[in-house]
Amino acid sequence: MRGYIKYIGFLVVISLVVLWLAGVFSHREKTFEVEKKAKTVEGLKISKVERTQEVEVGYVGNIVADSVAEISTRVAGKITSVRVKEGQAVKKGQILLTLDASDILAQASAASEQVKQAEEAYKSAISNYEAVKKTYERYLSLLKENAITQQEFDQIKAQYDAARAQVEQAKAGIRAAQFQRKAVVSNLDYTTIRAPFDGYVSHKKVDMGDLAGPGTVLLVIERPPYKLEVNLPEKYVGRIRVGDVYPVYIDALNKTVQGRVSEVSPSVDPITRTFRVKLSLESGDLKSGMYAKMLISEKLSVILVPESAIFRRFDFTGVWVVKPDNTLELRFVKLGEKRGNMVEVLSGLSGDERIVVDGIEKACDGCKVGG
C-alpha cells in the first residue's frame, strides 16, 4: 500500500513539473498580430505613363566620308619614312611617306646613258648619210650624162636609201630612249607619297621598314562633310525627296543631329525591296563607319518610357509602378525598340500607370513613396 502511495506521489510531482515548464502557472498576455510599418522612400521622380500615337521609327545606316582616298604606289620599295599618324589632319600636297628610290635612280641613270648612246648613233648615221648623199648626187649627174651605167647608179642609190633609213632609225632610237627615261623618272614621283586633298588620316596600314608593293593600300585619307547611307523600305518611295530634313540619331555619340537628304536612288532593289538614301550631316564629332539611325515619324500607338525608368537585373527588365495606395511594385515589362532616350514597352503596362522615372536605385518592393 505504501509503495502505491509513493508511486502516485511521484506521478503528481512529475505532472506538476511538466505543467510548470509548459508555463501553465505563468501569467500569459493575450496574443495579437503586430502591424508591419511600410518604409518610406524619398527623392523619387514619378511620372504618368502615356500612350503616344506618333513615334519616330529608326532605320539603320552607316556614316561615310564625302571623299575617301586609298593611298597606294605603283612601284615596289622599302618604306623609308612615315610622316603621319592615324587621326592626323593633313594638307593637300603634304608628304605622307617616302619609299627607297635607289633602284629607280639606278634605272634612271641607265636610261640616260641609253639616250646618250642613241644620240651618238644618230650623229654617226647623219655623217654617213651626208657622205653617201654627196656620192649619190654625183652619180645622178653622171647618169644624166651617160657617163656611168644604170647598174652602177642603182648600187649607189641603194646605199643612199640605206643611209637615209639609218638616220630615221637613229631618230626613233633617241625617241624610244627618251620615253624610257621619262617612264623611269616618273616612277620617282611614286616614291614620295603626298596627300591628294585636305583631310585627315583615317587608317595607317604600314610602318617604316615595311615593303610596299604596287597597288597595296598604304594609307586612307578622308575629308568631311559626312553622309549617312541608309536603305529604306519601298513604302517610302515618293515620300523621301532631296532637300528634306530628318533627325539622325548617332549611337556612339548618344545625340541627334539634323540630316538633309542629298541623294535618293531612283530604283528599288528587287531582292531586299529597299532603296538607298544619302543624308548630309553637319557635326565635327563624326567618323566614317559610325552606326546611326534615320528617324522617320509614323502614326503608331505605343507606350514609351524613359530609359532611366528601366530596372535591369540579369535577364529581368521591369519598372517600378506606384500603386493607388502610393506603394511601389516592381513589374516585369517586355521592351521593344529604343527611340532616342525613350524605350518602347510592348507588354506589362496599360498606359495609365504612374512609374518611377528617376531614382530607381532607391526603390524597394512594398515601400511607400514619400513627399
pLDDT tens readout for residues 267-315: 999 999 999 999 999 876 788 888 899 988 888 788 888 888 899 988 8
User: What pLDDT band is residue 36 in, cutting at 50, 70 and 90?
Assistant: low
- pLDDT over 70, % of the chain: 88
Residue the block writes with cell 513604302: 235
At residue 24 the predicted structure's pLDDT band, cuts being 50, 70 and 90, is low
* Secondary structure class of 237 (helix, strand, coil): coil
Sequential DSSP letters for 50-73? -EEEEEEEEEEEEEEEEEEEEE--
| Peptide linkage before 225 cis (omega within 30 of 0) | yes
Measuring CA to CA, which residue among 130, 120, 64 is closest to residue 278? 64
For residue 334, what pLDDT band results from cuts at 50, 70 and 90? Answer: very high
Residue 29 has pLDDT above 60, yes or no: no
pLDDT digits (tens, 9 = 90+) for 92-142: 999 999 888 777 667 767 777 888 888 888 888 888 888 888 888 888 888
The reported pTM is: 0.52
CA dist., res. 329 & res. 338, Å (int)? 24
* pLDDT, tens only, 106-117: 776 777 788 888
pLDDT surpassing 60 at residue 147: yes
